[in-house]
């Protein structure tokens, strides 16, 4: 059996975790949240309202690449919820990983702001959203889904896309 791996990407609050967990359950795959792999220094920065920079993300991205690569080599399929905001981050994650698909959850600033503002107990605070939109380099060759529709519609769109 060929293993597959999906990265559900987008800015904080776009629904990566909810969509990723649902897809993983549907397919019986393992779910990973990239937020769980940040080193304590990164979490401390974000908790204090300081956006991460490229050097903050370097080891984190290297680890995520290793995670994906290891899973695919072991014939384990999975879903990773990961911001992957910049093209070079996505290229790093894709490098040498056959069977990896990226799904971009796209939403406008006002919609995402309203979601983040209502969220509790997460280190990514709503006032940091602007830095995420500034860093975002929207993918052009990946499945892109508007998250203003209900989550069930987002899931159905991804399922139909993955069947083809």
159: nearest Cα among 107, 72, 151: 151
> Domain containing 136: what range?
5-163
Indicate the number of domains in the chain: 1
Which tens digits make up the pLDDT trace of 33-79?
999 999 999 989 888 878 888 999 999 999 999 999 999 999 999 99
Dihedral of alpha carbons 35, 41, 43, 46, sign: negative
Which CATH number covers residue 115? 3.40.50.300
The pTM of the full predicted model, rounded to 2 decimals, is 0.91
Which tens digits make up the pLDDT trace of 19-29?
999 999 999 99
Is the pLDDT at 96 greater than 80, yes or no?
yes
Dihedral of alpha carbons 151, 156, 85, 56, sign: positive
Q: Which strands, in side-by-side order, build the sheet including 30-33?
A: 30-33, 78-81, 5-9, 100-106, 143-146
143: nearest Cα among 25, 27, 19: 19
The CA-CA-CA angle for residues 108, 137, 49, to 5°, reads 70
């Amino acid at each position: 059996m060929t293993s597959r791996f999906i990265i559900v990407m987008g800015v904080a609050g776009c629904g990566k975790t909810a969509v990723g967990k649902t897809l993983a359950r549907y397919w019986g795959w393992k779910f990973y949240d990239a937020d769980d792999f940040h080193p304590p220094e990164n979490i401390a920065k974000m908790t204090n309202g300081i956006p991460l920079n490229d050097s903050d993300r370097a080891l984190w991205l290297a680890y995520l690449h290793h995670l994906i690569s290891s899973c695919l080599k072991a014939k384990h399929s999975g879903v990773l919820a990961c911001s992957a905001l910049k093209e070079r981050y996505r290229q790093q994650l894709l490098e040498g990983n056959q069977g990896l698909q990226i799904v971009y959850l796209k939403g406008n600033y006002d919609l995402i702001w309203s979601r983040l503002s209502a969220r509790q107990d997460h280190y990514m605070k709503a006032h940091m959203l602007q830095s995420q939109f500034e860093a975002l380099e929207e993918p052009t060759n990946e499945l892109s889904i508007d998250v203003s529709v209900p989550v069930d519609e987002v899931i159905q769109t991804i399922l139909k896309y993955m069947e083809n």
